[in-house]
Amino acid sequence: MEFDDDLKGCAELVRQGDPDRFLATMAAPVAARPVLFALYAFNLELSRAPWASQESMIAEMRVQWWRDVGAELAESQPVRRHYVATPLGRLLRPDLAGHIDAMAEARRWDIYRDPFDDEAAFEAYIDATSGSLMWMAAGSLGEADENTVRAFGRGVGIANWLRAIPELEKQKRVPMLDGTAEGVRRLAAQGYESIQTARKDRSSVSKEAGVALLAGWQAHDILKQAMKEPERVAVGALGSSEFRRRTSLMLRAALGRW
């Protein structure tokens, strides 16, 4: 698919707002990039919607706008004109677009300052956001087992969540049910186990679909780091050097090993 102005806008949005997924998309085959850029741009727009205003009603309206877009896509209706929604409407299958509703509903948590009710609520949030995004991306590119992709997405989502904790706390949110060092270790271990479970079933994800899982190339190392040194979470010190980060991505992309 040709990169029109809308897709170029999506790519630029991802480049500026989600540099890790931008790098992963640029490491993907050219044919895979349009749908990945459209999905990741959508994810950015949806994730920012709850923070768009101090007024909860306005934030709710912005989240609902994307929920309505998801309904239009899922029902194969004409999609409202928008530089992200328009290409998404061309590139995303209706059955996969059905997951947007759960993503948008989960993002309503970000509007308010209440903690998660329990571990089940947190797990549902991670699955609806990170898991659904990864499944829509993988399912758009090739054959894959949804449970395997979601297991990997769960681990990636937990790794990304741990990295986001300092900013969430700055915004007066309560991101952890148990913010102790042991609580961080336990959550990181759960994410690590999810990734290991997915990798044991690697054969259930085709090479084409596996390209979408490149976006989680750092999660394994981040989770190991959090398990070993949980104090890094509070100060935002999870992650590798720029050289190691890029080298690791290039290697995994070349080998097709997510």
Whether residues 149 and 188 fall in one domain: yes
Here the CATH number for the domain that contains residue 227 is 1.10.600.10
Percent of the chain exceeding pLDDT 90 equals 98
Whether residues 120 and 98 fall in one domain: no
Q: Which residues constitute the domain of residue 18?
A: 1-111
Whether residues 81 and 162 fall in one domain: no
Whether residues 101 and 121 fall in one domain: no
Whether residues 141 and 252 fall in one domain: yes
User: Which one of 94, 111, 128 terminates a domain?
Assistant: 111
Give 13-58 pLDDT, tens digit per residue: 999 999 999 999 999 999 999 999 999 999 999 999 999 898 999 9
- Domains: count for the chain: 2
Mean pLDDT across 177-201:
97
User: Which one of 64, 88, 111 terminates a domain?
Assistant: 111
Give pLDDT, residue 155.
Answer: 98
Does the pLDDT value for residue 1 go beyond 70? no
The pTM of this model reads: 0.96
Please report how the helices 146-170 and 181-200 are oriented relative to each other, as an axis angle in degrees rounded to 10: 160
User: Which one of 70, 93, 111 terminates a domain?
Assistant: 111
Q: Can you spell out the DSSP letters for 225-245?
A: HHHH-THHHHTT--S--HHHH
Whether residues 104 and 120 fall in one domain: no
Which one, of 22, 10, 12, lies nearest residue 86 by Cα? 10
Give pLDDT, residue 244.
Answer: 94
